[in-house]
């Protein structure tokens, strides 16, 4: 019985040696495929909540649009009410519980100021930068938000 065991083992070793290259390639593929899939797929999920501020209302753009992690920003800043940033004003008064989330900022703000209504650039800066300065948190320098 022992001789038979060794005979079978020798023939099995012979099979591995003949197909050794194919087997190594298969094992390498099985190990490398998930790693490559992770490298190419995970970044897609990590950028899921990236928000690009719509700058379509500007004629000539001096800097690139602001890109930030919307949900992470609101969580860190403890902002629960959407109207905190997506506000609605009527007759110079901010309307409570009214949100402009479904509108682009340029639908309410022209590029240039008009009366008491700030122009688009000033509105962005007053809203975002103003909050950052007031709370002494967040970026306030141009290149910190407008990354090239």
Residues 67 and 140 in one domain: yes
Question: How far apart are the C-alpha atoms of 65 and 86, rounded to whole Å?
Answer: 17
How much is the pLDDT for 41?
A: 72
Most confident of 25-34, 54-63, 132-141: 132-141
Residues 72 and 136 in one domain: yes
Check which CATH number belongs to the domain holding 71 and give it.
3.90.10.10
Identify whether residues 60 and 107 lie together within a single domain: yes
Average pLDDT (15-29) is 72
For residue 29, count other CB atoms closer than 10 A to its CB.
10
Q: Are 66 and 52 in contact (CB under 8 A)?
A: yes
Clarify whether residues 62 and 135 are in a common domain: yes
CA distance 41 to 38: 5
- The whole-number pLDDT of residue 126 equals 92
Q: Residue 127 — pLDDT band, cuts 50, 70, 90?
A: very high
Residues 99, 118, single domain; the answer is: yes
Q: Are residues 78 and 137 in the same domain?
A: yes
Q: Residues 19, 86: one domain?
A: no
- How many C-beta neighbours within 10 Å does residue 23 have? 13
Verify that 17 and 29 share a domain, yes or no.
Answer: yes
Asked if 108 and 128 sit in the same domain, the reply is: yes
- Across 1-5, 38-42, 137-141, the highest mean pLDDT is recorded for 137-141
Whether 20 and 80 map to the same domain: the answer is no
- Whether 31 and 59 map to the same domain: the answer is no
The domain containing residue 77 runs over which residues? Answer: 50-145
Task: Using only the alpha carbons of the chain, give its radius of gyration.
Answer: 30
Q: Are residues 23 and 54 in the same domain?
A: no
* pLDDT value of position 119: 92
pTM: 0.61
Judged by average pLDDT, the poorest of 13-22, 33-42, 51-60 is: 13-22
DSSP class per residue in 37-101: HHHHHHHHHHTTTEEE---TT-SS-SSPPPEEEHHHHHHHTT---GGGTS--EETTEEPTT---T
The average confidence (pLDDT) of the chain is 82
């Amino acid at each position: 019985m022992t001789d038979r065991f060794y005979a079978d083992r020798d023939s099995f070793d012979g099979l591995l040696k003949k197909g050794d290259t194919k087997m190594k390639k298969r094992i390498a593929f099985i190990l490398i495929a998930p790693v490559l899939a992770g490298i190419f797929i995970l970044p897609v999920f990590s950028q899921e909540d990236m928000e690009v501020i719509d700058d379509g209302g500007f004629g000539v753009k001096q800097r690139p649009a602001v890109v930030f992690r919307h949900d992470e920003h609101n969580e860190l800043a403890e902002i629960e009410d959407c109207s905190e940033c997506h506000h609605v004003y009527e007759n110079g008064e901010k309307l409570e519980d009214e949100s402009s989330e479904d509108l682009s900022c340029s639908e309410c703000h022209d590029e240039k100021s008009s009366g008491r209504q700030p122009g688009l650039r000033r509105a962005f800066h007053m809203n975002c930068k103003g909050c950052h300065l007031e709370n002494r948190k967040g970026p306030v320098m141009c290149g910190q938000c407008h990354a090239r």
